[in-house]
Amino acid sequence: MIAAEIRNEILDILSDIVPDEDLSQLDDSLPFREQIELDSMDFLDIVMELRKRHRIQIPEDDYVELNTMAGTVRYLEPLMKDIRPS
Amino acid sequence: MIAGNGDHRRIVITGVGLTAPNGNSLAEFRESLLAGRSGVKNYEIRYVGATHAGVCAFDELRHQKKKEVRRGTRAGSVGIYCANEAVRDSGLDWENVDKSQVGIYVGVTEHGNVETENEIFSLQGFDYDTKFWSHHHNPRTVANNPAGEISLNLGITGPHYTIGAACAAGNAGLIQGAQMLLLGECDVALAGGVSESIHTFGIFASFKSQGALAKHEDPAKASRPFDRGRNGIVVAEGGCIYVLERMSDAAARGAKIYGELVGHAMNSDASDFVLPNSERQAQCVRTALRRAGLEPEDIDIVSTHATGTTSGDAQESAALREVFQGGLKTRFNNAKSFIGHAMGAAGSLELAGNLLAFEDRMCHATINVDDLDPECAVPGLVINEPEPLGEVNTILNNSFGMLGINSVVIIKRV
C-alpha cells in the first residue's frame, strides 16, 4: 500500500469506530482527538483493527506516533508497503 | 407490608417504557395482546440453525448514537430504550431531577453469554490467539452492564446494578426498586428487567438438549402454554423499565399513576436445579397476598408465568388451583403465548401487558390453546379471546426461574 491507500484504510477503520463523525473534513496534521470524539478505547480499536486486518502489531510505546493521520500514515508506510489493497 | 403506612410508604408506577416482540410501547403492546397478535418469528442462530424467537424491532438510534450501540451490548440498548421511554412517559421534569437521587435496578436472567460467544467465534478466525480478543469484552460482560449503560446514557449518578434472578428477574428488579425507595436510597427508581438472550446460541442449545425448546411449523403457534401439544419454550428478547416513586412524591407533582405496588414476595424451592415446585410457588403467592392485605378472591387478573414446558405449566396450574380454589371472579392469562419467554424481562413485561386493564377493563387471553391440558385447567383461564371484565382493581404477576426462584408482585388500581 502507498500512503494514499493507507490513509483510505485508516478512514475505513475510523468510519466503523466513530460512525457518527463526518470524516471528510479531517485535517491530517491535527490530532484525531481534537477533531473527532475518539477516546482511549476507540484508539485501541484502531490498533486492534490493524492487527486483525493486516496482522500489524504496534508496540504500546509507538502509540504516540498514531496521534494524527499524517503521523499514522508515516508510521505505517514501511509496515504496509508489501500489503496489497483489497 | 408496603401498603397502608402513609403515602411516603406507598410505591406507585408513574412511567412505563418497553420493547416487546409485538410492540415498542405500552399502548402498542396492549393492542397486540388484545388483538391476538403474536411476535414470534422463525429465527436462525449460529450452530443451532433454524428455530423460533421473539425478536424486538425498536429503534436503537432513538436514544443512542451509532458509536454507543457499537460499543455497548444489546441488553444495554434494550435498557436504554426502555429507560428513556419510561422517563418520558412519567412526565418527570428530567432536566431538573436530581440525578444522584435516581436508582437503576435491572433484572437479568443472564448477562455476558452473547458477548463471550461472539468473541470466541471471532477468535476462531485467528487460531484462538488471545491478542485478538477485544478490549471491550470486560465492560460488555460485567454483570452490571445493562444498568450501567442506562446510567451513562441518562447521566444518572445514583446507584445502578442488575439483579440476577433467572426468569424471576423482571419482578425482582421491580421489587428491588420499591425496596430502595422505601429505604430512602433514592427518590426515583428505574426498575424492571431486560433480555438479550436470543443472541446467545447457548441458551437455545441448552433448552434443546433439555428437551425444552419449542418447535412448530407455524412460529406464531410455537409458544403454547397450557395446551396439550406444548413442547417447550420460545426464547425472546425484550425489556420493560418502570418509573417508580413514593406516592407522596407522585401526588405532589400531579403524576399520572398506573397502579400501586401493594404486595410482593420472593422465595426459593430448594428442591431442584430446573424443575419447579408448586408448593413453594403457592406459598410465594400467599405471602404476597398476605402482605397486600388481600384474599385470593380479591384478585381480578393473575398473569401466569407458564412457559410452555410440560412440567412447568402443570406445576404452576396446580399452585394456582390450590390458592384460588376455583373462585368465580379471578381471571388467569399468559403473555408468553404471544411473545415467547423474554427471560429477564418476562416478569416486568408481562405485568405491563396487563397494566392497562385498569383502564380498558379487558383481560387479554392466553393464545394457542387448541386442546387444553386437563392438568392446566385452571378455572378462570382466559383462552384464545380476550374477556371484558366489569372492573379491574388488582393484578397479580407470577414470575419464576431456574434454581427454584419464585417471585410475585401485586399491583392495585389507584
Q: Got the DSSP string for B96-159?
A: GS-GGGEEEEEEES--SHHHHHHHHHHHHTTTT-GGGS-TTHHHHHSTTHHHHHHHHHHT--S-
CA distance B380 to B123: 53
In chain B, the percentage of residues whose pLDDT exceeds 90 is 98
pLDDT tens digit string along B170-205?
999 999 999 999 999 999 999 999 999 999 999 999
- In this complex, which of A20, A42, A48 lies closest to B134 when CB atoms are compared? A48
Kindly give, in sequence order, each residue whose CB lies less than 8 Å from that of residue B372, ignoring residues fewer than 6 positions away.
B226, B227, B228, B381, B383
Task: Give the pLDDT of residue A15.
Answer: 98
Question: Across residues B40-60, what is the average pLDDT?
Answer: 98
- pTM for the model stands at 0.97
Whether A20 and B132 lie within 8 Å, measured CB to CB: no
Q: Is B66 on the interface with A (CB under 8 A)?
A: yes
Question: Across residues B29-43, what is the average pLDDT?
Answer: 98
Give a yes or no: residue A25 inside a domain.
no
Sequence ranges of the domains in chain B: 7-252, 263-412
Cell 397502579, residue located = B259
Task: Give the pLDDT of residue B116.
Answer: 98
pLDDT at B149 over 70: yes
CA distance B351 to B122: 38
Q: Give the domain B263-412 fold.
A: Peroxisomal Thiolase; Chain A, domain 1 (3.40.47)
- The Cα-based distances of B123 to A49, B49, B116, B134 in angstroms read 13, 21, 10, 9
Q: Enumerate the H helices of B184-308 as residue ranges.
A: 201-209, 247-252, 278-292
Question: How would residue B327 be classed by pLDDT, with cut points 50, 70 and 90?
Answer: confident
Task: Give the pLDDT of residue B137.
Answer: 98
Task: Give the pLDDT of residue B177.
Answer: 98
A55 alpha-carbon distance from chain centroid: 14
Range of A46's domain?
Answer: 3-19+33-80
* B396: Cα within 13 Å, side-chain hemisphere: 33
Task: Please tell me the total count of domains within chain A.
Answer: 1
CATH number of the domain to which A39 belongs: 1.10.1200.10
Cell of B339: 411473545
* B271: Cα within 13 Å, side-chain hemisphere: 12
CA distance B314 to B377: 9
CA distance B144 to B111: 9
Task: Give the pLDDT of residue B77.
Answer: 98
Whether A44 and B66 lie within 8 Å, measured CB to CB: no
Å from B70 to nearest chain A CA?
Answer: 8
Query: Are B7-252 and B263-412 in the same CATH fold?
Result: yes
Task: Give the pLDDT of residue B3.
Answer: 45
A-chain residues near B71 (CB < 8 A): 41
Question: Across residues A56-78, what is the average pLDDT?
Answer: 98
Question: How would residue B6 be classed by pLDDT, with cut points 50, 70 and 90?
Answer: confident
Question: Across residues A28-44, what is the average pLDDT?
Answer: 97
Name the pairing type of β-strands B102-108 and B235-236: unpaired
Task: Give the pLDDT of residue B326.
Answer: 80
Residue B403, φ and ψ in degrees, nearest 5: 70, 15
Question: Across residues B70-81, what is the average pLDDT?
Answer: 98
CA distance B386 to B390: 13
Question: Across residues B278-305, what is the average pLDDT?
Answer: 98
Question: How would residue B2 be classed by pLDDT, with cut points 50, 70 and 90?
Answer: very low
- In this complex, which of B65, B132, B136 lies closest to A41 when CB atoms are compared? B136
pLDDT at B403 over 70: yes
pLDDT at B1 over 70: no
Which residues pair with residue B194 across a beta bridge? B239
pLDDT at A86 over 90: no
A-chain residues near B66 (CB < 8 A): 19-20
Q: What is the ipTM of this complex?
A: 0.95
- Tell which residue, B261, B247, B225, B254, has the closest CA to residue B355: B261
Q: Is B131 on the interface with A (CB under 8 A)?
A: yes
> Please, what is the angle between helix B74-90 and helix B145-154, to 10°?
50
Q: CATH classification of B7-252 is 3.20.20.70, yes or no?
A: no
Give the torsion through C-alpha atoms of B282, B287, B289, B293, to 10 deg. 160
Task: Give the pLDDT of residue B4.
Answer: 45
B-chain residues near A52 (CB < 8 A): 126, 132
State the average pLDDT for chain B: 97
Å from A29 to nearest chain B CA?
Answer: 24
Q: Is B228 on the interface with A (CB under 8 A)?
A: no
CA distance B207 to B157: 38
